Structure 1
């Protein structure tokens, strides 16, 4: 088993997305999205988020799971388009750990 086999699925997905930044857009859906720029990546993320919201209200766990996976994928693509990584998000979540949501929101307003 290689170290990448032991990596978490989100880490493997992030690495794949990162590798697609330099790939031919004709060879990869991810490369095609990234080639269209951060705005298009954000638009796709928004579309997928809306689809997940719809499935959440319908209550079909299987469809919601599928849509949630699409949301996570498109979130990672959108982040990659702006040179942010999953590690950047984890760092921010660690910073917020133990902080009340109300306190965190108040801190943002400053």
Structure 2
């Protein structure tokens, strides 16, 4: 079993402790203080992850994926979305074809 979930839980808890922190002393606090900036950073990391996947090899993909997950967790926290809320959405989609699930979304 992967240890990723345990690491993500610890990271999410650390991110929560940065709420209300000094944005000049903590990058995480800076992102938490500005959800738009957090969203932009997540987008940048997503692009870097794609580039690593197609052109830079598995070590670069792992490193960029770590950055992507960190920024995703920060954006969730900055936006007031819990990991449980994300889990609920995933649970609701279990057992449904990806094609059927996407087709059921409002356009």
> TM-score by structure 2 length?
0.89
Do the aligned partners of 1:49 and 1:71 also contact (CA within 8 Å) in 2?
A: yes
Q: CA RMSD in A?
A: 1.5
1:41 to 2:38 alignment = yes
1:101 maps to 2:98: yes
Report the alpha carbon displacement of residue 109 of structure 1 after superposing the two structures with TM: 2.2
Contact 1:14-1:85 at 8 Å conserved across structures: no
- Quick check: 1:16 aligned with 2:38? no
Q: Which 4+ residue blocks in structure 1 deviate beyond 2 angstroms?
A: none
1:40-59 aligned at under 5 Å gives the runs: 40-59=37-56
Supply the distance in 1 between the matched residues of 2:104 and 2:10 (Cα, whole angstroms): 33
User: Which ranges in structure 1 are unaligned for 5 or more consecutive residues?
Assistant: 1-6
Q: Is the 8 A contact 1:76 1:85 kept in 2?
A: no
Match of 1:3 in 2: none
SS at structure 1 position matched to 2:105: helix
Give the Cα separation in 1 of the matches to 2:31 and 2:12: 15
Measure the CA separation in 2 of the matches of 1:19 and 1:84. Answer: 16
Note if contact 1:55-1:63 (Cα within 8 Å) is conserved in structure 2. yes
Task: Tell me the equivalent position of 2:89.
Answer: 92
